[in-house]
Amino acid sequence: MTSWIDACARPRVRPDGFDWDVFLSYRSLDREWTIALYDALSQCGYRVFLDQFVLVAGKGLTSQLGQNLERSASGVLIWSTRTGDSAWVEAEIDAMSARQKNSQGSDFPFFYVVASLDGKKPPGVLGGQLYLDFSAYPDGPTGVELVKLTAGLRGEPPGAEAVRMAADFDTARKKEPADLRALAQAGLFEEMVAKVKGDDPAYTTTAQLPAKAVELLISSKQYQAGDAGRAGEALTAALARFPESVRLRQLQGLLLRRTGQLERAHYELSKLLEESQRDTETLGMLAAVWADRWERHDSKGEPDEARDALEQSQVLYAEGFSKIPTDTYTGINAASKAAMMGKIEQAKELAAKVLERLEELARTRGGAPSSDYWERVTEPEALLLLGEGERACKLFHDARVAHQGEKGNLESTAKQIQRLLAVLPVEEAVRARLTQEFHISTG
C-alpha cells in the first residue's frame, strides 16, 4: 500500500442489471459532506448514484429512487440531526432494509451502511446494522471510518492492516481542518496555499482538505477581479492532483464567477451539468452566473438579454428547489429572483416555504444560530421578502458580525440585498440600515 486510500475496499464486480456500485441517500443540508464522500468513493473506483446528480425533476421522485436503488449493489444512508427529518430517514432505512432482505440468498446480496455525521443514531436503525460515526470528520470522510464503510459495502469486516494504516493517517490529518480555519481567521493565507501545494499526505491523498482550503480562500476574498490570486493558485495545484473532483470543479466555477469571468464560469459549470452532475450546488452556482449576466446586460442597456438571463437564473434555482424541497439555498434564490422579475406573490410564497424549513432546523439546534454563513443569511433574506424588515436587519447584522472575515461571502450578500432593495417596497428606515450595514452604493 502506498497511501491510506489503498486500504479502502474496492467495489465488487457488478453483474448484468446493476448500474451502480453504491447508492447514496442524504438530505440537502449535508450535501457538501456527501459530495466529499462521492469524490472519495469515485477515487476508489466506485460508480456512485447520487440523487441530485441523476434524478429528473417532475418525473416521480419516489419511483426514480426506487428504480435506482434496485439497480445498486450497496447503499449508504447519510444522516445528521440538523436535517430534523425522522420520517424521511425511517423510510430510507425501511427501503434499504427491504432491498437487503430481498437479496438474501442470491448470488449478489445487497449491503448498506448507516453513516451519522454528528454521532447520533437515526431513528429506525436495526440491531446488527453497520452504523458508523463520522462526527470526527466534519469536512468529509477519510481514514478509519471510510475504510470500514467501504468494507461494509462488500459485507466484510475491514482488514487489521488497513485499519492500522488509516488510523496512522487519521492522527496526522484530524487537526488540519481546524488549522485551515484558524489560518484564514488570522489572515495567514500564504500558509494555506503552501499546505495545498505541499507533499503532506493529508493534502495529496484526497481532495477534501485542498477543497476546504480553496473554499476558505474564496470566502476570504483572496482574489481580485480578473485575477484568481491565492485562491486560484491553490485551486490550480489541487486540480492538478484531483482533476475529477466534483467539489474542486464546483469551486473553480465559483472562483471564475467571483472574478468576473462569467463566460468561463458558465462553461465549467455547464460541463458539470452535461456530465450528469445536476445537483443543487452546481445548479445554484450556474444560476448565480446567469444573475451576474443579467446585471451585465442591464448595465449595457440590453433589456431583452437582461430579462432572459434573469429568467434563466430563476428557472435553475427553482429546478433545484423543486428537486430537493428542503434545500433552502436554492429556495431563497428562486424567491429573490422571482421578486426581481416583478413576481412578488410568487416570491413571498417561496420565501414562506424556506422560512418554514429554517424554523424546523432551528428547533433541532435548540434555537441556536447556524454556524453556516449561507444558512444564517437565508433567514433574514426570506424575512425581507415577506415584509419583515426590522427582523431582517437584526439578523443580517448578527450574521455579518459573526462572519466578518468572510469578505467574499459578505460582498455577495451585499449585492443580493442591493438587488432586492431595487424592487421591494421596503421602509426607508430599513433601507437606510441595510445600506449602511453592507456599505451599499445608492448611486
List pLDDT tens digits, range 63-119: 456 788 899 999 999 988 876 667 777 888 888 999 999 998 899 999 999 999 988
The Cα–Cα gap between 194 and 202 comes to 13
Last residue of a domain, one of 260, 295, 314: 260
Note whether 333 and 428 are same-domain residues.
yes
Check whether residue 128 and residue 230 sit in a common domain.
no
pTM tops 0.75: no
Let me know whether 343 and 384 are in one domain.
Answer: yes
Tell me, what's the pLDDT at 94? 87
CATH code of the domain covering residue 370? 1.25.40
Within a domain: 265: no
Whether 269 maps to a domain, the answer reads no
Is 75 part of a structural domain of the chain? yes
Q: How many CA atoms lie within 13 A of 303 on its CB side?
A: 1
Q: Are residues 315 and 334 in the same domain?
A: no
Output the CA torsion sign for 185, 250, 166, 119.
positive
DSSP secondary structure string, 39-55?
HHHHHTT--EEEHHHH-
Cβ pair 214, 234 in contact under 8 A = yes
Same domain, 71 and 42: yes
Instruction: Mark whether 367 and 400 lie in a shared domain.
Output: yes
Task: Provide DSSP, 116-136.
Answer: ESSSPPPTTPPTT--EEE-TT
Query: Do residues 252 and 298 share a domain?
Result: no
Residues in the chain, pLDDT under 70: 1-4, 51-65, 83-85, 127, 172, 276-278, 442-443
Q: Which whole-number Å values give the CA distances from 36 to 66, 246, 250, 323, 326, in the listed order?
A: 24, 8, 12, 20, 20
Cβ–Cβ < 8 Å for 375, 364 = no
Cell numbers describing residue 185: 481567521
pLDDT of residue 67: 82
Count structural domains, the chain: 4
Number of Cβ within a 10 Å radius of residue 181? 16
CA distance 422 to 431: 10
Instruction: Give CA–CA dist 400/315, Å, rounded.
Output: 29
What integer pLDDT is reported at residue 60 of this predicted model? 39
> Among 173, 191, 219, which residue terminates a domain?
173
Q: How far apart are alpha carbons 11 and 310 in whole angstroms?
A: 44
Indicate if 58 and 156 belong to the same structural domain: yes
In this structure, the answer to whether residues 61 and 143 fall within a common structural domain is: yes
- Give me the phi and psi of 307, to 5 degrees please: -60, -45
Q: Which of 173, 189, 213 is the last residue of a domain?
A: 173
Q: Based on the domain organization, do 417 and 345 belong to the same domain?
A: yes
- The pLDDT of residue 441 is 81
Q: For residue 255, what are the domain limits? A: 175-260
- pLDDT tens column, 330-366: 999 999 999 999 999 999 999 999 999 888 878 777 7
- Can you give the pLDDT at residue 64? 52
Q: Are residues 209 and 278 in the same domain?
A: no
Same domain, 335 and 369: yes
